[in-house]
Structure 1
């Protein structure tokens, strides 16, 4: 985990995965995480958004 940003009702986790690239995960605000701590993420495809390197949203 590169960065943990607590925003009240949400916690944003910024990380990077080898062969995938950067990932931003929005979690429940009550998650107790520390920078550098290993985490496991599970993704619901219905809630995923993909972006090109240019920042343009992909369909």
Structure 2
């Protein structure tokens, strides 16, 4: 069983989408059985940040 844990992705003003793109590629290549995302999902807790976060994490297989 392969489990991937990601933490503190902090979607917001300082978020680096190009780095996250690489993370998505690497995680999907592992074909994990589960992905756990812990820590802070957004920088400021704004609705628009959560909406973007939802869109970004939907890219994981």
Q: Please, what TM-score do these two structures have when normalized by structure 1?
A: 0.21
Where is the strand percentage greater, Structure 1 or Structure 2? 1
Q: Which has the higher contact order (CA 8 A, sep 6+)?
A: 2
TM-score, normalising length: structure 2: 0.21
